[in-house]
Amino acid sequence: MNLIAAAIAVGLAALGAGIGNGLIVGRTVEGVARQPELRGTLQTTMFIGVALVEALPIIGVVIAFIALGAE
């Protein structure tokens, strides 16, 4: 049962991060298309957002290790 819980935690975390990254990058591309002169500012903000979203799978892996260790 712990293996299933760990797999679900990591899988949902990866799914959420993938959706989040897609939304962030897509909206950044739209912003650059509308105002090309703000490319640097938008790109910096995008990288910060992607870094924050990528924390989610790391937390999911930690939860999975906790679930596996709670035998």
Nearest C-alpha neighbor of 67 from the set 11, 18, 27, 22: 11
Token digits of residue 8: 């679900």
pTM for this entry: 0.81
CATH numbers and ranges of domains, the chain: 1-69 (1.20.20.10)
Residue 71: pLDDT band by 50, 70, 90 thresholds? Answer: low
Select from 64, 59, 56 the least CA-distant residue to 3. Answer: 64
Distance CA(58)–CA(41), nearest Å, equals 27
Structure-token match 């906790």, residue found: 66
**What are 6-60's pLDDT values in tens digits?**
888 899 999 999 999 999 999 999 999 999 999 999 999 999 999 999 998 998 8
